[in-house]
Amino acid sequence: MCSCRRPSATTALVLVLLWLYYTPCRTFSLAFNLNFSDPSAFSSIITAGDASISAPTLELTKNARQFPDIRNSVGQATFAHKVQLWSSSTGEMASFTTNFSFQITPAPGAYNIPFPYGDGMAFFLGHFPTAIPQNSSGRNLGLLTDFTAGIGDGRIVAVEFDTYSNPIYDDINGNHVGIDVNSLYSMASTDTTTSPGKNLSSSIVMEATVTYHNDTKMLAVDLLISDALYRVNATVDLSRILPEEVAVGFSAATGLSAAGPQQVLSWSFSSTLPDLPTSNSYKKLVKILLSVLVPVLFFLVCAVMVWRRHRKIRANEHGQEQCVDRAGLERGVAAGGPGRYTYRELVAATSNFAEEKKLGRCGFGGVYGGHLTLKHAADSRAVAVKMLSAESSAQGRREFEAEVRIISRLKHRNDLVQLLGWCDSRKGLLLVYELVMEGSLDRYLYNNDRCLTWPQRYKIILGLGSALRYLHREWEQCIVHGDIKPSNIMLDSSLNTKLGDFGLARLVDHGTG
């Protein structure tokens, strides 16, 4: 026969850390794919300025078919939702790839525009939601105002497809791709006229791919015009430039002397943001945890095991003591004395110790009224149930045992509160008394509405004296009550005295002082 043992907590922790060490990082991802010949794509785009969607294209500036003058036009079109670019909580940066097909066509000849291509368009990342700056037409591509830098909500990172030369911005020529960071002075650019007939102004549908790698912080652009491939890249730490959540989209503008339609036909975007630190730093962290936490936790597990074993031994000893106590208590109760009740019986008698049944408080708990069918009796009787304490209270248990042992051996007398039963349960130690209707003497002494007459006071004193005489002289041993006070002197409906609460009582032999 074989036996199976559960793995220790230390072993389980090591397995979890090793699993984390060899588990790839979780990521958050975003992806969409829009084709503007499909009207369902329209709801995913927010347009601003002169931008509009007219299937099968996303028009970034004024549509030459609808407007008599397309000069000085500015428009933006962005994805309708925020894109998380980096995380301040983990310090992680997203990687992304975007692909889009677009076309820059000349303005119709009727417009008599000197440069029918212009001024250009850009893919950009910026504040969400975007706002087109004032005076941002023409050479500013709808991104910035003349000679200003992107600050605050105006920060941008853009890839410009420029079809007009602006020496003021140090453009390399009138047909180039550039990478812009908070400025229209490109930090990197490439000439797109090196393949004849295959440039931004060739009226050809072009394919652009923009990628960003979070590990190298490299922003790279590939532009495919027919079979001609143009490339440009730059190192950009986007987390130092842009907010955590950004808008992504397109911006374009025309000017006075350079104007032409600029259209996007399709657009896809995907990004991934690691939920945990990057692989190398993550594994390094786990190694540190393994080397530090495992010895500490091994020590803690050993300490817990020793403590649990010690507690189990103590519990066994305590359980044995309780069994001995209960057996001794039952033997100590005089024959025909108070009966033992279950906790469930007393719960039922007091309506689960309902607040409205509460008669008052004693030193270690509350006193509740109720009705209980007594042992060896068929009828129900009004009782008072005193809950001394939880079983773990040593003082409460001593009082409980003293009261049961002493009162059960006394003769039934009218000047002593009769103990009818008891309960020794894990949920509490309870004593069941006869219900004395008028309650305790302190109700009369400290209540101006219930004043006692002098004859009544004298009667109460005589009754108390009778009870004490019996306890001190007339029983086989002298019983020292030890707690005579108004709250322990009960009064029946005729104001006869009944002494109760023998929790502090002790037995003394006659003649010993």
**Sequence-separated (6 or more) residues with CB below 8 Å from residue 110:** none
Q: CA 244, CA 93: separation in Å to the nearest integer? A: 9
CA-CA distances (angstroms) from residue 138 to 119, 202, 253, 400?
5, 20, 5, 96
With b for 16 or more beta-carbon neighbours within 10 A and e for fewer, the 46-73 pattern comes to bbbbbbbbeeebbbbbbbbeeeeebbbb
CA 102 to chain centre: 46
347 sits in which H/E element: helix 343-349
Beta-strand relationship, 245-253 and 74-79: antiparallel
Hey, how many other C-beta atoms are within 10 angstroms of the C-beta on 191?
Answer: 13
Token pair of 56 as six digits: 């099968």
Strands, E assignment, 390-470: 419-425, 428-434
Q: Out of 171, 483, 492, 509, pick the active-site residue.
A: 483
Active site residue 483: yes
Q: CA 97, CA 31: separation in Å to the nearest integer? A: 9
Contact 200, 160 (CB under 8 A): no
Contact 206, 223 (CB under 8 A): yes
In the block, tokens 């909500």 appear at 153
**Sequence-separated (6 or more) residues with CB below 8 Å from residue 377:** none
**Sequence-separated (6 or more) residues with CB below 8 Å from residue 317:** none
Question: If DSSP states are collapsed to H, E and C, what string results for 141-209?
Answer: CCCCCCCCCCCHHHCEEEEEEECCCCHHHCCCCCCEEEEEECCCCCCEEEECCCCCCCCCCCCCCEEEE
Angle between helices 9-22 and 279-332 (to 10 degrees): 160
Largest CA-CA distance found in the chain, in angstroms, rounded: 135
Q: Which active-site residues does the annotation give?
A: 483
